[in-house]
Amino acid sequence: MSLIINGESISKGICIGQAVHIDKNNIDYAPSYIKKSQIPKEVEKFKKSLVSIREGYEKSRDKVKDNATITKLIETQLHFIEDKSFQKNITKKIENNLYTANWSIATEYQKIENEFKRIEDKYIRERLIDIKQMVISLLDFLRDSKSGSNLKKVNLRNKIIITDEITPKEIIDIYYNHVSGVITSHGSKSSHSAILSKSLSLPMMVKAGASNNIIKDNDLLIMNSENNEIIINPDQNEIKYFKSLDNKNTSLVRGLRKILKKKSITNDGKIIKIMSNIELSEEVKFLDKNCDGIGLYRTEYLYMNRCNLPSEEEQVLAYKKVFKRMIQKTVTIRTLDIGSDKEVSENIKAGDIAKNPALGLRGIRYSLVEKNIFKTQIKAMLRAGYNKKLGILIPMITNVNEIYMAKEIINEAQIELKNERKKFTEEYMLGIMVEVPACALQADILSKHVDFMSIGTNDLVQYTLAIDRIDDEVSNLYDPTEPAVLNLIKKVIDACNKAGIDVSVCGEMAGETFYTKVLLGLGLTSFSMHPQVIPEVKSIILNSDTKKIRKAINKILKCGNRIMRENLIKNL
Amino acid sequence: MISKNLTILNKLGLHARAAAKLVALSNNFKSEIILVKDNKSADARSIMKLLMLSASKGSVLEVKITGKDQEEAMGSIEKLFLNGFDEAL
């Protein structure tokens, strides 16, 4: 008999596949012994693993010499590896107890873990993660495996992955492994991993709390996003039914695709621009010819899955790939936006010591500290944008001073390129992300210093309502239609219209059909969203009368009651 | 053997990076250097043991040094504590 559990769907459709558990924090505690004669060999093996891990870190450190933050982080990791008491205890276990190197490390880690759990200071306690990481690397080395993550060790083709949580980096890994879907027991719909899987059209469900315990490896699963349910070991009838539904969905999607060819214009004749958000330069291949350009190209992924920084040349190649497909269309590239939930790599973490990363060193703040990383990226953008329509988008702007400082670095980049006799564009557009309420509140002032603005609603909502969208306890309070938020968005749109500069919304709000008419009502004429959702949003735009909506919007802007407000929105 | 009570002054306490500094400094000396807090002791050359002391801002640690260069070592370590590990206080 089949069993049903619930989760929250990220993307649409039906997905059928076999389950495979991925335990990412895999430390094997199974006892294993050696013979007395093997002691020297086993100790040698352990020492070799230390040397190998240390060399890996030293290599990364040498590659990022210019970056003091990263260098310090690696230095600390090196101290863990060189910890004499750790080494001594493990050697003792091999020599006196005849444990294998693996088991010695595992038991020593268990001891350390117990000690750390008792530490009161949260910040110090959390360093256990670093030690765990090191232990996993050591064990991986001893198992003679070539790759670090055990995601890569199993054949994942057409499988549905079951795990606690998943990082954006892992989403990319599994995407290239042709996974069918992902189910996580924790996580959130608005996390970066979720956004990424949505944009890659990779079926994903989060908060399926029961998934880890109930689903077994090789169970057949149906992920039905419509009802947010996961059917475990469905019977033949269920499989038949969902397969037919899946086909129907596919034809529905095909129908919606026809919409893409139509001109994007409302019933009352207003032209609405619909652009795409992309995360990987490869995605541009899947974009429809009729899309109005790239409204947001997130560049974090260029910096991921690696221990060094992408060079200027490498970035030029990636950006050019996008420009090549977007003929005569604007490509808006956002400068590196790390911090908060966006962990770029083990080596590049903004605000490492920040207790509250959302309020820490992220976005432009990080770029102004690590000027060289920023300048290299700007130079690559300017070079790739030669003879093209380039928009440079700066994240997390809070005040006008940051715009001045960013411009100064862009000027420096141009002078350097001139001296290097490289071809680059001098006619780029400079824009800012409106994510911080302070930025929205002074949009009229800031509009005089930039060529366009892009409203990042995810963070704007989070900062305005003081809600962490990843925190399960409060994520239900996260509502982009709170009057406080809508009024801020309106303020920004009005200011930009007055100043005669472009303004668009690139946050998730732009891609969810529930909000489409609200945004039209606030006067928005430019959207940027995941390519996957364009057909649905566009079909709503085509059937909208902005004059009528604008009249009705004032009531919504004043309506504090969420249920009443949602009803008003549904009736727009 | 000499010993002295030293207070953690920096905001984040004896966290990974501060502990790493103490390890690096201790490696310059030959003496045995032990830190004691709440009946727990840690070799100043082991970053893990130092973290396990769970020494946050305001904690008082007894530093015990034994060896030929103990005076010199104590001087340097005291300076590191007084400077709050060169971090924000």
Contact A490, A476 (CB under 8 A): no
Is residue A414 scored above 70 in pLDDT?
yes
pLDDT of residue A205: 93
DSSP character for B42?
A: E
Q: Which residues of A are catalytic?
A: 192, 506
Is residue B14 scored above 50 in pLDDT?
yes
Cβ within 8 Å of residue A385, ≥6 positions away: A319, A323, A331, A424, A425, A428
B37 in contact with A, Cβ within 8 Å: no
CA–CA separation, A221 and A234 (whole Å): 7
Is residue A216 scored above 50 in pLDDT?
yes
The predicted model gives A274-288 an average pLDDT of 83
Q: What angle do CA A19, A20, A26 make, to 5 degrees?
A: 150
A188: its two tokens? 């959130």
A343: its two tokens? 């962990």
Residues in A touching B56 (Cβ below 8 Å):
120-121, 124
A131 in contact with B, Cβ within 8 Å: yes
pLDDT of residue A142: 82
Residues in B touching A356 (Cβ below 8 Å):
none
Cβ within 8 Å of residue A52, ≥6 positions away: A141
pLDDT of residue A147: 40
Taking residue A203's Cβ as centre, other Cβ atoms within 10 Å add up to: 24
Give the CA distances from residue A447 to residues A440, A492, B73, in Å, rounded to whole numbers and listed in that order: 10, 9, 58
Q: How confident is the model at residue A274 (pLDDT cuts 50, 70, 90)?
A: very high
Positive or negative torsion for Cα B42, B48, B50, B54: negative
Q: Which of A61-75, A154-168, A503-517 is modeled with the greatest confidence?
A: A503-517
Residue of B nearest to A73 (CA): B17
pLDDT of residue A455: 98
CA–CA separation, A303 and A14 (whole Å): 32
Contact A159, A19 (CB under 8 A): yes
Q: Given the DSSP bridges, would you call strands A331-334 and A390-394 parallel, antiparallel or unpaired?
A: parallel
Query: Comparing C-alpha atoms, which of A315, A304, A376 is closest to residue A342?
Result: A304
Is residue A150 scored above 80 in pLDDT?
no
Q: How confident is the model at residue A350 (pLDDT cuts 50, 70, 90)?
A: very low
Is residue A345 scored above 50 in pLDDT?
no
Contact B13 A119 (CB under 8 A): no
Q: How confident is the model at residue A192 (pLDDT cuts 50, 70, 90)?
A: low
H or E segment and range at residue A162: strand A159-163
DSSP character for A532?
A: G
Distance from CA of A124 to the nearest CA of B (A): 5
Query: Comparing C-alpha atoms, which of A420, A543, A439 is closest to residue A488?
Result: A439
Give the CA distances from residue A3 to residues A70, A242, A530, B39, in Å, rounded to whole numbers and listed in that order: 48, 15, 33, 53
Mutate: best of B48, B59, B89, partner A, most A CBs <10 A: B48
Q: Smallest Cβ distance to A121: which of B20, B24, B54?
A: B54
**pTM (2 decimals)?**
0.60
Could you give the number of structural domains in chain B?
1
Q: Smallest Cβ distance to B15: which of A80, A124, A131?
A: A124
Query: Comparing C-alpha atoms, which of A194, A159, A141, A142 is closest to residue A8?
Result: A194
Least confident of A35-39, A244-248, A331-335, A511-515: A244-248
The residues pairing with A172 across neighbouring beta strands, listed in sequence order, are none
The secondary structure of A313-382, three-state, reads HHHHHHHHHHHHHCCCCCEEEECCCCECCECCCCCCCCCCCCCCHHHCCCCHHHHHHCHHHHHHHHHHHH
Catalytic residue among B6, B9, B12, B15: B15
pLDDT tens sequence across A513-572? 999 999 999 999 999 998 878 988 999 999 999 999 999 999 999 999 999 999 999 999
Contact A159, A17 (CB under 8 A): yes
> Is B57 buried (19+), middle (13-18) or exposed (0-12) by CB count in 10 A?
middle
Torsion of CA A272, A273, A279, A282, to 10 degrees: 120
Cβ within 8 Å of residue A278, ≥6 positions away: A199, A284, A287, A294, A296, A297, A298, A322, A531
CA–CA separation, A540 and A329 (whole Å): 24
Cβ within 8 Å of residue A135, ≥6 positions away: A27, A105, A106, A109
B20 in contact with A, Cβ within 8 Å: yes
pLDDT of residue A139: 83
A359: its two tokens? 């309020």
What's the whole-number average pLDDT of chain A?
A: 87
Cβ within 8 Å of residue A141, ≥6 positions away: A48, A49, A52, A53
Least confident of A282-286, A446-450, A518-522: A282-286
Contact A187, A193 (CB under 8 A): yes
Is residue A342 scored above 60 in pLDDT?
no
Cβ within 8 Å of residue A146, ≥6 positions away: none
Taking residue A59's Cβ as centre, other Cβ atoms within 10 Å add up to: 12
From chain A residues 43-102, the ones with a CB under 8 A of any chain B CB are: 72, 75-76, 79-80, 83-86
Q: What is the ipTM of this complex?
A: 0.86
- The label of the residue with tokens 């104590």 reads B74
B13 in contact with A, Cβ within 8 Å: yes
CA–CA separation, A167 and A192 (whole Å): 8
Give the CA distances from residue A540 to residues A276, A517, A531, A552, A571, in Å, rounded to whole numbers and listed in that order: 17, 8, 15, 17, 13
- The label of the residue with tokens 């009946």 reads B39
Secondary structure (3-state) at A149 = coil
Q: Smallest Cβ distance to A127: which of B16, B49, B55?
A: B16
Residues in B touching A80 (Cβ below 8 Å):
47-48
Contact B20 A119 (CB under 8 A): no
More confident of the two residues A150 and A16: A16
The predicted model gives A100-125 an average pLDDT of 88
Residue of A nearest to B46 (CA): A83
Q: Smallest Cβ distance to A124: which of B24, B49, B51?
A: B51
Q: Which of A59-68, A171-180, A262-271 is modeled with the greatest confidence?
A: A262-271
Contact A34, A98 (CB under 8 A): yes
Distance from CA of A349 to the nearest CA of B (A): 15
List of domains in chain A = 3-13+156-251 (3.50.30.10), 36-142 (1.10.274.10), 260-570 (3.20.20.60)
More confident of the two residues A256 and A534: A534
Contact A79 B24 (CB under 8 A): yes
More confident of the two residues A60 and A498: A498
pLDDT of residue A146: 40
Contact A553, A518 (CB under 8 A): yes
Order of strands, sheet of A159-163, starting from the edge strand that comes earlier in the sequence: A3-6, A229-232, A220-224, A14-21, A159-163, A181-184, A204-206, A8-9
Contact A86 B54 (CB under 8 A): no
Give the CA distances from residue A193 to residues A205, A301, A428, B2, B68, in Å, rounded to whole numbers and listed in that order: 11, 12, 31, 54, 56
Give the count of alpha carbons within 13 A of A425, CB side only. 20
- The label of the residue with tokens 């991925």 reads A22
pLDDT of residue A18: 92
> Is A327 buried (19+), middle (13-18) or exposed (0-12) by CB count in 10 A?
exposed
CA–CA separation, A28 and A54 (whole Å): 22
pLDDT of residue A468: 86
Separation of CA A159 from chain center: 22
Q: Smallest Cβ distance to A119: which of B12, B45, B52?
A: B52
Is residue A352 scored above 70 in pLDDT?
no
Least confident of A150-154, A229-233, A506-510: A150-154
Q: How confident is the model at residue A168 (pLDDT cuts 50, 70, 90)?
A: low
Find the CATH number of the domain harbouring B34.
Answer: 3.30.1340.10
The domain of B53 spans 2-86
Contact A135, A27 (CB under 8 A): yes
The residues pairing with A526 across neighbouring beta strands, listed in sequence order, are A273
Mutate: best of A112, A114, A121, A130, partner B, most B CBs <10 A: A121
A118 in contact with B, Cβ within 8 Å: yes
E strands present in chain B:
2-7, 32-37, 40-43, 60-66
DSSP A410-462: HHHHHHHHHHTT----S--EEEEEE-SHHHHHTHHHHTTT-SEEEE-HHHHHH
CA–CA separation, A270 and A260 (whole Å): 17
Residue type, A418: K
